[in-house]
């Protein structure tokens, strides 16, 4: 019932919330009965970008490989690797249903990087994909991480104070009704995801920013988030004192800041600028 209410609310109030991350037909992404969880584009480079898809909670189909077209255009001298979380379990479940998903993906990333001969690696992701980019980029010793609105652990959006702040923010409802609706739906989605994880024996998933902050060696990371998006802003501010983390607040209250940048026709140039110092 909660799932039905959530999807109905999306269709009624925010039908284009993730318009930049188009959904693929689920039937088209299965090969030999197994979900295609990764795509590798070997361009013969010693630099590779690993892009991690989010949970695509607003659609019923298989999560798409995100940033695919854009990275092909702005990262001409990079190999490209695209991952998706086919079970929408924050990468805690492997593509064959393995319960040790985080270990599986970490080993798979290292294997692909070694196969490609990558000396310089970058991770990128939005929303839950940003959490994966931070987690695996840190664990695998990448050279750079690009995080767009990292919302994890799920309690950042689903705990009672976050829900109260989003549902009862009358000022935002009056001034920015689109932002209010999006934030309310993200809280609802996070609550649903938290329930799914707990039913699978996983509590709140992992805390990528805490992992990054405690890592003995931290790769440079750029964190984009909406300055008026209270949940994402508070989450990002946890890194304020860490020199390797560059915080980029955008003048919006949306969680989906990558789509905002795309609408402003600045997402491609933003990513290109962040890649300039990699491999120098």
CB 64 within 8 A of CB 58: no
pLDDT value for 17: 37
Q: Give the tokens for residue 27.
A: 């039937």
Give the model's pLDDT for residue 6: 45
130 pLDDT more than 70 = yes
Report d(CA 232, CA 5) in Å as an integer: 24
Average pLDDT, the chain: 86
Q: How many CA atoms lie within 13 A of 224 on its CB side?
A: 25
255: nearest Cα among 3, 54, 2, 81: 54
pLDDT in tens, 241-277: 999 999 999 999 999 999 999 999 999 999 999 999 8
- Which tokens is 150 given? 């990292």
Q: Order the strands of the 120-126 sheet from edge to edge.
A: 38-41, 79-83, 47-52, 120-126, 144-148, 221-226, 245-250
Rounded to whole angstroms, the Cα distance separating 219 from 186 reads 29
Cross-strand partners of 199 = none
- Alpha carbon distances (Å) from 246 to 20, 28, 145, 201, 231: 24, 38, 10, 34, 18
pLDDT in tens, 82-94: 999 988 899 999 9
Residue 59 has pLDDT above 60, yes or no: no
Each residue's pLDDT tens digit, 19-50: 333 333 333 333 444 568 999 999 999 999 99
Looking at residue 23, its pLDDT comes to: 35
142: left (phi over 0), alpha (psi -120 to 50) or beta: beta
Strands 79-83, 38-41: parallel, antiparallel or unpaired by DSSP?
antiparallel
State which H helix or E strand residue 232 sits in.
Answer: helix 230-237
Q: Which two tokens stand for residue 259?
A: 């789509």
> Is 0.85 surpassed by the pTM of this model?
yes
| 231 pLDDT above the threshold of 70 | yes
Q: What is the pLDDT of residue 16?
A: 36
């Amino acid at each position: 019932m909660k799932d039905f209410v959530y999807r109905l609310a999306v269709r009624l109030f925010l039908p284009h919330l993730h318009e930049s991350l188009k959904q693929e037909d689920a039937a088209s992404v299965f090969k030999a009965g197994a979900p295609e969880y990764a795509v590798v584009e070997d361009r013969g480079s010693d630099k590779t970008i690993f892009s991690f898809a989010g949970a695509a909670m607003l659609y019923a189909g298989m999560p798409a490989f995100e940033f695919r077209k854009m990275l092909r255009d702005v990262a001409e001298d990079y190999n490209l690797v695209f991952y998706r979380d086919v079970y929408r379990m924050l990468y805690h479940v492997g593509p064959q249903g393995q319960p040790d998903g985080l270990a599986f993906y970490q080993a798979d990333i290292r294997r692909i990087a070694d196969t490609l001969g990558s000396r310089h690696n970058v991770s990128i992701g939005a929303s839950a994909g940003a959490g994966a980019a931070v987690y695996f980029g840190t664990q695998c010793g990448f050279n750079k991480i690009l995080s767009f609105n990292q919302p994890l652990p799920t309690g950042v959006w689903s705990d009672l104070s976050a829900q109260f702040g989003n549902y009862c923010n009358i000022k935002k409802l009056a001034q920015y009704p689109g932002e209010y609706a999006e934030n309310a739906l993200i809280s609802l989605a996070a609550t649903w995801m938290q329930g799914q994880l707990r039913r699978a024996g996983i509590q709140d998933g992992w805390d990528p920013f805490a992992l990054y902050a405690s890592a003995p060696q931290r790769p440079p990371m750029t964190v984009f988030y909406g300055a008026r998006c209270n949940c994402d802003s508070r989450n990002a501010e946890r890194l304020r004192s860490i020199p390797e983390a560059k915080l980029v607040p955008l003048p919006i209250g949306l969680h989906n800041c990558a789509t905002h940048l795309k609408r402003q026709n600045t997402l491609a140039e933003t990513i290109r600028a962040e890649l300039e110092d990699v491999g120098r």
